[in-house]
Amino acid sequence: MKTVVIADDHQLVREGIRALLDKQPGIEVVGEAADGVAAVALVKKLAPDFVIMDLAMPKQDGLQATRQVRKLGGPTEVIILSMHARPAFVQQALRRGARAYLLKSAISEELMAALAAAEQGETYLSQAVSEGLQDNWLSLQDDTGSLALGESLTERERQVLQLIAEGHTNNEIAALLTVTAKTVSKHRTSLMAKLDVHDLPGLMRAAIKHNLIFVS
């Protein structure tokens, strides 16, 4: 019996994935998480064979959570299931250890194919994702600067940056991350220095340009 954890901040999405997997023989959904932090905690506790992970989640996004799951060193393979088709996000997910990347528009057969491929240690991409990578191969080769910039940010800086993009104030971010507002302010200053900007609009423009945040 193969075990699965589902991580997505939308309950309807989680229920839909669970309903699909419940129909498949030999697969058991053993847990659900609504944010990246909870997803990593569940994986650490349950050591499932797979975690099906969204990218845009609160507290910790799917990219950060994927990296944390891989750092655990357990058997869990990460399957990204996202609405974000941008090749840069796909590349970042694969670099962090995701075994498969599917779009939420994918048909159920693709999800099952991804699970089968991951079980064999193979990488699986949705057809649309694969075509996008091929079409944008040259531009991705020129995007090493953005990738390096993304790697230079700490996990906490990425969290703060995403929460800023979602419109949260320093005090709200501090409450969400259980740190002080002064600490959040330090992270904001560090982000501006690393992205070489001097105000909030500039920070957001740079974050979007370098694919550092998820925008719905």
Query: What domains can be seen in the chain, in order of their start residue?
Result: 2-137 (3.40.50.2300), 144-209 (1.10.10.10)
pLDDT digits (tens, 9 = 90+) for 7-25: 999 999 999 999 999 999 9
Sheet holding 124-125, edge to edge: 27-33, 2-7, 50-53, 77-82, 100-103, 124-125
pLDDT at 143 over 60: no
Query: Tens of pLDDT along 30-86?
Result: 999 999 999 999 999 999 999 999 988 888 889 889 999 999 988 999 999 988 877
CA distance 3 to 6: 10
Q: What is the mean pLDDT of the chain?
A: 85
CA 18, 20, 22, 24 dihedral sign is: negative
Q: What is the distance between the alpha carbons of residues 199 and 204, in angstroms, rounded to a whole number? A: 9
* Of 193, 168, 161, the residue nearest 60 (C-alpha): 161
Say if residues 34 and 60 touch (Cβ distance below 8 Å).
no
Q: Assess whether pLDDT exceeds 60 at residue 141.
A: no
| Backbone φ/ψ region at 6: left (φ over 0), alpha (ψ -120 to 50), beta | beta
Query: Of all residues in the chain, what percent carry a pLDDT higher than 70?
Result: 89
* pLDDT single digits (tens) 70-104: 999 889 999 999 888 777 788 888 888 999 999 88
Burial of 86-103, coded b for 16+ CB within 10 Å and e otherwise, reads ebbbbbbbbebbbbbbbb
pLDDT at 27 over 50: yes
- What is the Cα–Cα distance from 173 to 164, expressed in whole angstroms? 8
Torsion of CA 33, 42, 16, 61, to 10 degrees: 50
Q: Which residues contact 147 (CB under 8 A, 6 or more apart)?
A: 88, 91, 92, 95
The sign of the torsion formed by the CA atoms of 211, 121, 40, 15 equals positive
pLDDT of residue 101: 92
pLDDT, average across residues 182-209:
86
The pLDDT, as a whole number, for residue 135 is 54
Residue 148: predicted pLDDT:
59
Residue 101 in contact with residue 82, Cβ under 8 Å?
Answer: yes
Report CA-CA distances (Å) from 196 to 50, 86, 115, 202: 39, 24, 41, 9
For residue 171, what pLDDT is reported? Answer: 92
Do 154 and 179 touch, CB atoms closer than 8 A? no
pLDDT at 47: 95
What per-residue confidence (pLDDT) applies to 140? 47
pLDDT grade for 215, boundaries at 50, 70 and 90:
low
